[in-house]
Amino acid sequence: MIIVMKPGASEEDLNRVITKVTDRELKVHLSEGKFRTIIGVIGDKKMIVGLPVEVMPGVEKVVSVTESYKLVSRGFKHENSVVDVGGVLVGGEGLVVMAGPCAVESREQLLESALAVKNCGAQFLRGGAFKPRTSPYAFQGLEEKGLIMLAEAREVTGLKIVTEVVDVQSVEIVSAYADVLQIGARNMQNFQLLKIAGKSGKPVLLKRGLAATINEWLNAAEYIMNEGNYNVIFCERGIRTFEDYTRNTLDLSAVAALKEISHLPVIVDPSHGTGRWRLVCPMARAAVAAGADGLMIEVHPNPAEALSDGSQSLTPENFAVLMSEVAALAAVMGRKMA
């Protein structure tokens, strides 16, 4: 941390700040310029986080030099992490695809979806049993019945199951059925949920919050890893901006940025990222070209009948086209379809 003193700060101001810092067993390095003094603070990162000097008299600005996360960073672990989900590797050489309906609606709809995405080469079936919805009057999901259907679909197809945990209570029951716990965008900073998901030991797919910076997202993953659970997968799904042609603004730069900063795998959800099925295929291709480790795609046997998010779902036919286009690009990127 660097503390920049105001041009007119007094000797007394300076000493008070130094005392405050050294009281926490941190060290200071002074750089006294003609107009102002700059204080470098050195020591244990945990002691530096939240050091309350910004409001002290004579202080102009506090600049953080080191980040508040540690376990998620390439500084902590240099090589890429690979998350092993019952033999399917996320973040390895293979590109993984998670596909299926937004919500589990019925046994037939789910099995039909599962068989379709399996045939096209997906490794994971996605589908919400618990659905967070803006309006209390919208369809809220089949809950445990939906989880049972997901487990049956795994039985039939061999696909791994990824499904959302919407609150702390659902972690136990979802863990009993799913292979990967998904934490949704609205819950990215539900810190209790992050901790409990961390303790569950299950792989966690962490979606980016609608207004979350990359830095906050990294810290959210740090919450999970801090519980000893290193199996975290980031999922970019678009951020909220002024643009309203698309449902969200898919931030593919975040994929490249995370690959620089962190060792954890990153996948992309262009279905929520765009909200328009016609844009899903180009954005899936772009995600792979940007270096994503996989994709999450909404596929519905009959989007016009979907109880939620129909307008962003692909038909099985369009999903097949997507898979073949993505496979061609994956090859160029040196990746296999896992």
Please report, as residue ranges, which positions from 70 to 129 form the binding site for a copy of itself (by CB under 8 A).
none
Which is nearer to a copy of itself, 40 or 121 (by Cβ)? 40
- N-terminal to C-terminal alpha carbon distance within the chain: 43
Does residue 149 touch a copy of itself according to CB under 8 A?
no
The residue within the footprint of a copy of itself, chosen from 74, 132, 151, 318 (CB under 8 A), is 132
> What phi and psi, each to the nearest 5 degrees, are found at residue 233?
-120, 125
Does residue 173 touch a copy of itself according to CB under 8 A?
no
| Rounded Cα distance, 179 and 174, in Å | 9
Answer for the pair 142, 149: CB distance below 8 angstroms, yes or no: yes
Please name the residue that has the structure tokens 């909200």: 275
Contact region with a copy of itself (CB under 8 A), list: 33-41, 89-97, 116-124, 316-324:
33-41
Size of the site for a copy of itself (CB under 8 A): 107
| Rounded Cα distance, 314 and 326, in Å | 15
Which is nearer to a copy of itself, 70 or 107 (by Cβ)? 70
Does residue 15 touch a copy of itself according to CB under 8 A?
no
Which is nearer to a copy of itself, 11 or 242 (by Cβ)? 242
In this structure, what token pair is assigned to residue 167? 């609150």
Please name the residue that has the structure tokens 């999450």: 296
Q: Is 56 exposed, middle or buried (0-12, 13-18, 19+ CB in 10 A)?
A: middle
The residue within the footprint of a copy of itself, chosen from 138, 156, 176, 321 (CB under 8 A), is 138
What's the closest the beta carbon of residue 311 comes to a copy of itself, in angstroms? 4
> What phi and psi, each to the nearest 5 degrees, are found at residue 267?
-120, 170
What's the closest the beta carbon of residue 32 comes to a copy of itself, in angstroms? 7
Does residue 31 touch a copy of itself according to CB under 8 A?
yes
> What phi and psi, each to the nearest 5 degrees, are found at residue 70?
-140, -55
Which is nearer to a copy of itself, 150 or 193 (by Cβ)? 193
Does residue 277 touch a copy of itself according to CB under 8 A?
yes
| Rounded Cα distance, 283 and 276, in Å | 11
Q: Closest Cα to residue 288, out of 268, 272, 258, 274?
A: 268
Q: Is 288 exposed, middle or buried (0-12, 13-18, 19+ CB in 10 A)?
A: buried
Contact region with a copy of itself (CB under 8 A), list: 83-91, 111-119, 149-157, 301-309:
301-309
Which is nearer to a copy of itself, 135 or 155 (by Cβ)? 135
Does residue 274 touch a copy of itself according to CB under 8 A?
yes
Does residue 246 touch a copy of itself according to CB under 8 A?
yes
Question: Interface residues for a copy of itself in 193-232 (CB under 8 A)?
Answer: 193, 209-211, 213-216, 219, 222-223, 226
What's the closest the beta carbon of residue 299 comes to a copy of itself, in angstroms? 13
